[in-house]
């Protein structure tokens, strides 16, 4: 019996090289990451610093305030304003190589601005963006090549860029890039949550009652009752 011939796609050499470079960066990022990331601040954002005087607009590249993302320096590109007044943004990646076909190289040389993560776009409120710092603006060519496909993808569900500007396809379930995508998804959840204003309860400096304690203060001898009298159930010698 002759088995049918199995056709296997040969890996693209360029994609293989891209993935190898990405994996080296990812391993280095993990090695340098702190064991315990800093906790998010519970200080209201409005008290954490003055607003940037430059009004938010499409094409902005903004450095997020630490109260929004306390775990590192992150930049976002402002794509467009939504009907409700919030803005659609896309974050720049932590690595200089695109991880998937939904990440695109920008052509910039600044390490923190080399890759735009289109798949991870989300909405941010105007106040949060206004209290982030305007670092730069996308030029007309960048707006056309980077933002237009993403704005279109919001309606159609797919964005396309030249293959040489994106990462390799993600197919295997054990690919380490799944861990990277999960990490970046957690960043998105921190950045787009509706409020970061922590609620602080003032419980005062007075003595607190212990759980399930009676009126008898701690330290009262066992042979005294709650009124401070000795237990008369046992006769004295």
Quote the CA–CA distance of 130 and 54 in Å, as a whole number: 8
Ranges 2-6, 150-154, 166-170: which has the least confidence: 2-6
Q: Quick one: average pLDDT of 84-112?
A: 93
Residue ranges per structural domain of the chain: 43-152
Q: What are 191-217's pLDDT values in tens digits?
A: 986 544 443 344 444 444 555 555 555
Q: What are 50-63's pLDDT values in tens digits?
A: 677 889 999 999 99
Q: Quick one: average pLDDT of 77-96?
A: 92
The residues that bridge with 136 in the sheet, in sequence order, are 61
Confidence at residue 205, expressed as pLDDT on a 0 to 100 scale: 45
Determine the distance from the C-alpha atom of residue 30 to the mean position of all C-alpha atoms in its chain, rounded to a whole number: 16
H/E element, 25: helix 13-32
Confidence at residue 198, expressed as pLDDT on a 0 to 100 scale: 43
59 touches 143 (CB < 8 A): yes
Confidence at residue 174, expressed as pLDDT on a 0 to 100 scale: 92
76 to 116, 124, 176, 218, 232: CA distances (angstroms): 8, 10, 24, 57, 76
pLDDT band at 41 (very low <50, low <70, confident <90, very high): very low
Thinking of the domain 43-152, which architecture would CATH place it in? Roll (2.30)
197 touches 205 (CB < 8 A): no
140-144, 175-179, 200-204, 218-222 — most confident range: 175-179
Quote the CA–CA distance of 81 and 126 in Å, as a whole number: 9
Mean pLDDT of the chain: 78
The pTM of this model reads 0.71
48 touches 65 (CB < 8 A): yes
Ranges 45-54, 72-81, 102-111, 172-181: which has the least confidence: 45-54
Q: Quick one: average pLDDT of 152-162?
A: 67
């Amino acid at each position: 019996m002759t088995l049918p011939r199995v056709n296997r796609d040969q890996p693209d050499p360029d994609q293989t090289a891209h993935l190898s470079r990405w994996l080296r960066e990812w391993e280095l990022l993990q090695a340098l990451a702190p064991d315990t990331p800093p906790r998010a601040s519970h200080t209201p954002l409005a008290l954490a610093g003055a607003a940037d005087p430059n009004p938010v607009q499409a094409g902005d590249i903004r450095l997020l305030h630490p109260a929004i993302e306390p775990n590192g320096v992150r930049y976002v590109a402002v794509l467009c304003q939504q009907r409700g007044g919030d803005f659609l943004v896309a974050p720049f990646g932590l690595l200089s190589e695109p991880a998937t076909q939904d990440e695109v190289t920008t052509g910039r040389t600044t390490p923190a601005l080399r890759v735009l993560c289109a798949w991870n776009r989300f909405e941010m409120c105007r106040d949060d963006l206004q209290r982030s710092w305007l670092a730069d603006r996308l030029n007309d060519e960048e707006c056309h090549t980077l933002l237009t496909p993403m704005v279109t993808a919001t309606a159609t569900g797919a964005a396309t860029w030249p293959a040489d500007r994106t990462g390799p396809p993600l197919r295997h379930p054990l690919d380490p890039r799944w861990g990277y995508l999960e990490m970046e998804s957690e960043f998105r959840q921190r950045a787009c949550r509706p409020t970061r204003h922590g609620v602080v309860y003032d419980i005062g400096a007075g003595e607190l009652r212990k759980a399930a304690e009676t009126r008898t203060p701690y330290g009262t001898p066992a042979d005294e009752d709650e009124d401070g009298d000795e237990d008369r159930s046992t006769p004295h010698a």
